Amino acid sequence: MNLFNNIPILVTGGAGFIGSNLIEKLLIEGANVTCLDNFATGHRHNIEPFEMNPNFRLIEGDIRNAETCADACKNQVFVFHQAALGSVPRSINDPATTNAVNIGGSLNMLIAARDSGVKRFIYAASSSTYGDSESLPKVEDKIGKPLSPYAITKYVNELYADVFARTYGTESIGLRYFNVFGRRQDPNGAYAAVIPKWVLSFIEHKPILINGEGDYSRDFTYIDNVIQANMLAALTDSPEAINQVYNVAYGDRTNLNQLANWLRETLTQYDSDIAKVEIQYGPYRKGDIPHSLASVDKARKLLNYNPEFDLKKGLTEACKWYWEHLK
């Protein structure tokens, strides 16, 4: 039995890394999926596999346009709101656009979902919300001051979702993603995430650049763990679980030196010369928090979240995908 048989579902940012993986899973589960994307950071090749599927529809548009949001939300049961301008450095370089998309666009989507009677609004929150809080592991109700414009925008999304729940009775669930990686994540561009960027460098035998001394650590989270959390957020019927924010991670941390070595070790299986690739060190990056580690106890308890992929298992899958698609 399919989990979402003939249920209309909207995925914003559906041509992006996480969005396209969500669409793939939703179509497998029988949903009628609408993708809303302006292709600012998403890619058409991410959704090409779905274009011949009769249950897939694309709306090319921008969440900064309220009418576009209203049109996309019509007759939808669930909204998975993944559209955003990611990247801390991007937000530092251009805070105004990050604010317009991540706050203004998300507010447009909340209003459209409310007005269309959407059953539940599931949105991408971020571990950046923890800001300068030094406590580890990160627990949902203990956050610090934001360290970047991006972090501010993602926290404001949570505040708006909470106010809409209290004021209009909107059902929402926020998922604070921790350093997600996996298939379809773009390795190119100035704001590429660290894992795909390093994978590409290794494959091309170019030096790896680590910001700082490699001692900063992250809770790297494989895409399939994130997909699981999104499915559970839509399917839960527990009143206690709704209108909450959850950490979505594996619940372990790895520093950048370890990550680089594991990537090299994994990719060397495909090309022995990768073992010779040099690792270089540069200055620490503005806005970066030193350490990130999630407690996933709340998601386990209320959503029955059970992440299956630790970092090494996820890297094995991701490196295999990149080797097949980047060569």
Are 256 and 210 in contact by the 8 Å Cβ rule? The answer is: yes
Contact present, 78 and 120 (Cβ < 8 Å): yes
Q: Which helix (H) or strand (E) holds 73?
A: helix 66-73
204 Cβ neighbours under 8 A, 6+ residues apart:
none
Strands 32-37 and 56-60, by their bridges, are parallel
150 is catalytic: yes
DSSP letter assigned to residue 294: B
DSSP 8-state symbol, 166: H
Q: What angle do CA 252, 292, 42 make, to 5 degrees?
A: 95
Output the CA–CA distances (angstroms, integers) from residue 185 to 43, 210, 217, 223, 281, in the order listed.
10, 19, 20, 9, 24
* 3-state SS class at 126: strand
Annotated active-site residue in 150, 177, 216, 250:
150
Rounded (10°) CA dihedral 153, 155, 156, 159: 170
Q: Catalogue the active-site residues.
A: 150
